[in-house]
Amino acid sequence: MQKKNIVIGITASIAAYKACDLINHLRKKGHNIICIMTREAEEFITRLTLETLSGNKVYGDMFKLPDRRDIAHVSLAEKADLIVICPATANIIGKIASGLCDDLLTATVISSTSPVLIAPAMNDKMYKNKITQRNIETLKKAGYKFIDPVRGHLACGYVGVGHLADLTGILKRIEKILK
């Protein structure tokens, strides 16, 4: 398989640390990984960790002056062969479904013509909420791909559907999309 540019979006979920394993596996396959973190994701994982694993600068601040005179969200969108949001919170799903672009990740996703794979991770009540489900359906109808969360232990201490899908399943789905 030809090596691709994959943008990994990391949002504010306790599952953010699992993006590290995803990045490692994709880099081992030779893919170029570019990370975009939401400001809230930085409460769960550091830029240094993601930069070390990806081998690239981590993006996050939409209004920080770029190294080159390009518009960050547009250039990132154009570089991406695939955008993977892992983990995806109810917040980021809702913002994308509503067309809101108030951070670098949402602006990049909305600017891109590349496939987008979303891997939700959240409390089961949040995931099952009618609004969250409506937002997911809106995005699916628009062509966005999802890998559903699984039943498992949640950060709140409960067991329910909302646990991030297993890494093997996410990697298989990425490979399928890239073919």
The set of catalytic residues is 156
Residues 102/40, Cβ–Cβ less than 8 Å:
no
Q: Compute the distance between CA of residue 91 and CA of residue 169 in angstroms, rounded to an integer.
A: 23
Residues 169/147, Cβ–Cβ less than 8 Å:
yes
Peptide bond into 87 cis (omega under 30): yes
For 66, other C-beta atoms within 10 Å of its C-beta total 11
Q: Compute the distance between CA of residue 121 and CA of residue 132 in angstroms, rounded to an integer.
A: 12
Indicate the burial class of 10 (C-beta count within 10 angstroms; 0-12, 13-18, 19 or more).
buried
The candidate with the shortest Cα–Cα distance to 131, out of 86, 163, 85, 91, is 91
The candidate with the shortest Cα–Cα distance to 12, out of 132, 115, 93, is 93
